[in-house]
Chain A
Amino acid sequence: MALLEIEGLHVEVEGKEILKGIDLVIEPGEVHAIMGPNGSGKSTLSYVLSGREGYEVTAGSIRFDGHDLLEMEADERAVAGIFLAFQYPVELPGVSGMTFLKEAVNARRKAAGEGDIDAMAFLKLVRAKAKGLGITDEMLKRAVNVGFSGGEKKRNEILHMAVLEPKLCVLDETDSGLDIDALKVVSDGVNALRDPARSMLVITHYQRLLNHIEPDKVHVLARGRIRRTGGKELALELEQKGYADFVEAA
């Protein structure tokens, strides 16, 4: 059974149609990349999947791991296994990184009928995951994303992903604003999470991220629809030719 099935999805934002009929099927363990020019609807797709308010689905359906996703609140989707790595991670003044992650972990445990995680076990878990991403104890104690550099924020997103172990990782322009060193750290972190039971949807404008996170399939999203689907070589082709063909072909 497919992990994610999107059928005929139409989405409006403030009365304007952004997604105009998306069909997409992702099997467990697959990594799909969605590439496209700015304004093509890439981020909209990530928000619709994660349940952000303000995105009105006017037609179509999304099934995720046996759930009708559109009937679920954002927190229920997260607990069911959808994870969005934000393009612009939000700063939470006054909420420490550890408190935030512990709340997220305990929300999952509660849904599974388990008690809160043991404080020592939690610390050990987070430290183990943080180490590979170069995230220090000091960063974990600080308020979430407050005063973090762009690279630190993206690494922090991957830490959340590693700790929460989702079934579907949606990476929204995770490479934006990163230098090559940070890009490698982030990509290594993502690759470490590749698993036959875990799927990924990598949204990006540029091919460079896909040198590090190798996709099984590449889709071109333009003007609200998937215009072409291919293997990883499609990304290379786009890198050379750009999106002109898709933007202009009205």
Chain B
Amino acid sequence: MTTDTNTLPLVAGEDPAVLAAGAPDWLAALRRAAIARYDAIGLPGPRTEAWKFTGLNAVKALTPVPAEGVPATELPPAVAALDGPRIEIVNGRLSALPAMPTGVEVVALDDPAAAPEWVRAHLGSIASFETHPFTALNTAQLAGGVAVRIARGAMPEAPIVLSVAQAGGGETATIAHPRVLVVVEEGGSADLVTVFQGSGRYIANPVTEIAVAEGARLGHAVLQAEDAEAFHVSMTALKLAEKSTYDGFVLATGSKLARHEVRAELDGEHIEYAINGVYLGADGQHHDITTFIDHARPHGTSHEMVKGVLTGTARGVFQGKILVRPDAQKTDGFQMNRALLLSRDAEVNSKPELEIYADDVKCSHGATVGELEDDELFYLMARGIPRGRARALLVEAYVQEAIALIGRAPVRDAFAAVASEWLDRHVAGVSGSGE
């Protein structure tokens, strides 16, 4: 029987208590608090509102061991072709660190005791584990990963690629808790591409904390392309300061079950925040995109367009909440969730929420779920384009419209190529399955 109590700790590898013993005070305290919190809240069950559409029984049934070895993965060619430095995290630990452009500093979190001040100032302070057991677990195990700093006013031209890969098992699943901290200092501007991949059966539990300082900008595109046997539960937590910009995007194509959660605190005036995305699901895949946007101060803008394409028995979940606090006057929030179902057995749950306490705001939200438009399909066919090809063209256009929201052109092009490749494999030539 599944209960809301902690029936499966998922704690593998180093005992957090042991880890905590050898760490400096600040880190030991953080880890102890996290493991205590994890013990208290446990893994979510069917009665946990935040997880009601994403059941975790399959995850709870696993007894994972720490991930080790070399995953059989390669970056998608279009991403590999991006002209920038590539940081590699394997099994939760930094494994490759190339030379960085001027103004970019990267440190391994393997020895957080030696962490510079800018790491200590932010690590664990952005991603709250109060109500999120997976973040608590990641924090309790905090011993690997990387911290990236874009120095004040620095503007590295090429996107930085952060590859996060994990070696899974055959029978026995592995688990890893990659940790990433990104700090963009005042006036800095950078583009980061995070790619999650792996091979075999595993649970990936990454947490990314991002602080964007006053007048700074981060373009951040995430590709979740985990193995089809993998479970991916990720948290991206952001703290944005005045006049900062975050241009976020997620393209989710991988995993058997994935939850991509993004929580942003817009803690300053005139912040421009975007969190757009596309999830592509085939067979029995489950994609969950959950976002929370906290407009705390006036004149903030948020833009969220999430589109899904589902075939087979795939399932999509979108939960998007926008909170506009009393002080956040003149907030301009846009949220739209669309899902395209290409088979009768595909399913989607969409839960948009607006919670507004300011009286002078402009917020809109909406959700659509449907099949391809008959009149569009007919228009293509009336010009001689066969049904299967017409469907593929329309689905491609639907997806690329969202990908076009990625601000930086080289990143946009790379993601467009990755999405096209998925559509070629899963939609092209699939004719009439939804008719």
B116 within 8 A of A: no
Given known A-B contacts A89-B379, A94-B401, A95-B394, A103 and B374 have beta carbons under 8 A apart: no
Q: Which of A78, A84, A89 has the most CB of B within 10 A?
A: A78
A53 within 8 A of B: yes
Query: What residues of A have a CB within 8 angstroms of the CB of B383 in the complex?
Result: 78, 100-101, 103-104, 107, 160, 164
CB distance from A85 to the nearest CB of B (A): 10
B374:A53 contact, CB within 8 angstroms = yes
The 0/1 profile, CB within 8 Å of B marked 1, for residues 70-102 of chain A is 000111001100011010011011110001110
Q: Which of A92, A99, A101, A108 has the most CB of B within 10 A?
A: A92
A51 within 8 A of B: yes
Q: Which of B376, B387, B398, B400 has the most CB of A within 10 A?
A: B376
Give B383's nearest chain A residue, CB to CB.
A104
B369 within 8 A of A: no
A52 within 8 A of B: yes
Query: What residues of A have a CB within 8 angstroms of the CB of B396 in the complex?
Result: 94
B382:A50 contact, CB within 8 angstroms = yes
B22 within 8 A of A: no
Bound Cα distance from A100 to B378, whole angstroms: 13
B17 within 8 A of A: no
CB distance from B405 to the nearest CB of A (A): 12
Question: How many residue pairs, one in A and one in B, have C-beta atoms under 8 Å apart?
Answer: 75
A78:B376 contact, CB within 8 angstroms = no
B397 within 8 A of A: yes
B381:A75 contact, CB within 8 angstroms = yes
CB distance from B390 to the nearest CB of A (A): 7
B100 within 8 A of A: no
Checking A74, A93, A107 against B378 with a beta-carbon cut-off of 8 angstroms, the contacting residue is A74
B389 within 8 A of A: yes
B13 within 8 A of A: no
B375 within 8 A of A: yes
CB distance from B363 to the nearest CB of A (A): 24
CB distance from B66 to the nearest CB of A (A): 44
CB distance from B84 to the nearest CB of A (A): 28
Bound Cα distance from A111 to B384, whole angstroms: 10
B29 within 8 A of A: no
Bound Cα distance from A137 to B87, whole angstroms: 42
B387:A75 contact, CB within 8 angstroms = yes
Checking A75, A99, A111, A160 against B390 with a beta-carbon cut-off of 8 angstroms, the contacting residue is A75
Given known A-B contacts A90-B376, A94-B400, A84 and B385 have beta carbons under 8 A apart: no
Query: What residues of A have a CB within 8 angstroms of the CB of B400 in the complex?
Result: 94
CB distance from B109 to the nearest CB of A (A): 41
B386 within 8 A of A: yes
Query: What residues of A have a CB within 8 angstroms of the CB of B381 in the complex?
Result: 51, 73-75, 78
B389:A92 contact, CB within 8 angstroms = no
Bound Cα distance from A89 to B62, whole angstroms: 54
B374:A92 contact, CB within 8 angstroms = no
B380 within 8 A of A: yes
CB distance from A65 to the nearest CB of B (A): 15
B393 within 8 A of A: yes
B384:A78 contact, CB within 8 angstroms = yes
The 0/1 profile, CB within 8 Å of B marked 1, for residues 97-119 of chain A is 00111011001100100000000
Bound Cα distance from A83 to B390, whole angstroms: 17
Query: What residues of A have a CB within 8 angstroms of the CB of B404 in the complex?
Result: 94
A79:B379 contact, CB within 8 angstroms = no
B376:A75 contact, CB within 8 angstroms = no
| Contact residues of B between 341 and 392, Cβ < 8 Å to A | 374-376, 378-387, 389-390
Query: What residues of B have a CB within 8 angstroms of the CB of A101 in the complex?
Result: 383
Query: What residues of A have a CB within 8 angstroms of the CB of B387 in the complex?
Result: 73, 75
Q: Which of B386, B387, B390, B393 has the most CB of A within 10 A?
A: B386
B379:A104 contact, CB within 8 angstroms = no
Bound Cα distance from A119 to B420, whole angstroms: 20
B384:A90 contact, CB within 8 angstroms = no
The 0/1 profile, CB within 8 Å of B marked 1, for residues 141-179 of chain A is 001000000000000000010001000000000000000
Checking B374, B376, B389, B398 against A107 with a beta-carbon cut-off of 8 angstroms, the contacting residue is B389
CB distance from B75 to the nearest CB of A (A): 26
A104:B378 contact, CB within 8 angstroms = no
Query: What residues of A have a CB within 8 angstroms of the CB of B393 in the complex?
Result: 95, 99-100, 103
Q: Which of A50, A75, A107 has the most CB of B within 10 A?
A: A75
Given known A-B contacts A75-B390, A100-B380, A94 and B397 have beta carbons under 8 A apart: yes
CB distance from B254 to the nearest CB of A (A): 24
B394:A107 contact, CB within 8 angstroms = no
CB distance from A77 to the nearest CB of B (A): 8
Query: What residues of B have a CB within 8 angstroms of the CB of A86 in the complex?
Result: 379, 382
Query: What residues of B have a CB within 8 angstroms of the CB of A92 in the complex?
Result: 376, 379-380, 394, 397
Q: Name the 6 nearest CB pairs between A and B, nearest first.
A: A94-B397, A78-B384, A90-B379, A74-B381, A104-B383, A107-B384
Q: What residues of chain A have their CB less than 8 Å away from a CB belonging to chain B? A: 50-53, 73-75, 78-79, 83-84, 86, 89-90, 92-95, 99-101, 103-104, 107-108, 111, 143, 160, 164
- Known pairs A52-B378, A92-B380, A95-B394. 16 more at Cβ < 8 A? A52-B382, A53-B378, A73-B386, A75-B381, A75-B386, A75-B387, A78-B384, A83-B382, A84-B382, A86-B382, A93-B401, A103-B389, A104-B385, A143-B397, A160-B383, A164-B383
Can you list 15 A-B contacts (CB < 8 A)? Answer: A73-B381, A75-B381, A75-B385, A75-B390, A84-B382, A90-B378, A90-B379, A92-B379, A92-B380, A92-B397, A93-B398, A94-B404, A103-B380, A104-B383, A104-B385
